[in-house]
Amino acid sequence: MTIRLGDIAPDFEQDSSIGKLKFHEWAGSSWVVLFSHPADFTPVCTTELGLTAKLKPEFDKRNVKAIALSVDPAESHTAWIKDIEETQNTVVGFPIIADADRTVATLYDMIHPEASATATVRTLFVIDPNKKVRLSITYPMSTGRNFDEVLRVIDALQLTDGYTVATPGNWKDGDDVIIPLTVQDPEVIKQKYPKGFSSPRPYLRVTPQPNK
């Protein structure tokens, strides 16, 4: 199954480190970061889940819930969580889906046969409160994810949902933004962008971030 941006994230019911979990019900009205890892008790995955746990205050500020997945059973997740907490000096406050039958991995196309026939690659989805997929990133098994980039994109998505703007390359919260080409009416521009804008080219109109 191919999941594209704008698609409704497939719902599922699966075992997890906190018991049986119904995904859409668990997600509620929050944004969600759903990410897979190849296996429990592996070094890169341990650092990734430890980092995610430490980022809980940043996720909370953005109304984001994190949820991880691998094809290991729940008993393995429970033991591994203790290991993560000890080695990464943190508390894992999010569930890990125990996808032993690979139902969710198949639903979300997380197993790439040329990388591994059985383990999930490092797939990550950002899902909004309407259950729509807004970002998908896939990393190889040997490369840990950049969670600063995940937070940056969530900031951009939440900003552009609330304001008619786009974000330039390497944008970070607080930086200037871009007026989309779809906005051309001078009166609308005055109303929407009261701080004005600079325009080195007619197609490139830069304005201060509106909520700052």
Neighbour-count burial of 23, counting CB atoms closer than 10 A to its CB (0-12 exposed, 13-18 middle, 19+ buried) = buried
Among residues 45, 92, 104, 156, which one is catalytic? Answer: 45
In this structure, the number of other CB atoms found within 10 A of the CB of residue 188 comes to: 11
Pairing of strands 13-14, 21-22: antiparallel
Q: How far apart are the C-alpha atoms of 69 and 104, rounded to whole Å?
A: 9
> Phi, psi at residue 151, to the nearest 5°?
-65, -40
> Phi, psi at residue 139, to the nearest 5°?
-110, 150
Displacement of CA 169 from its chain's centroid (Å): 18
Identify whether 45 is a catalytic site residue: yes
Q: How far apart are the C-alpha atoms of 32 and 26, rounded to whole Å?
A: 10
Give the active site residues. Answer: 45
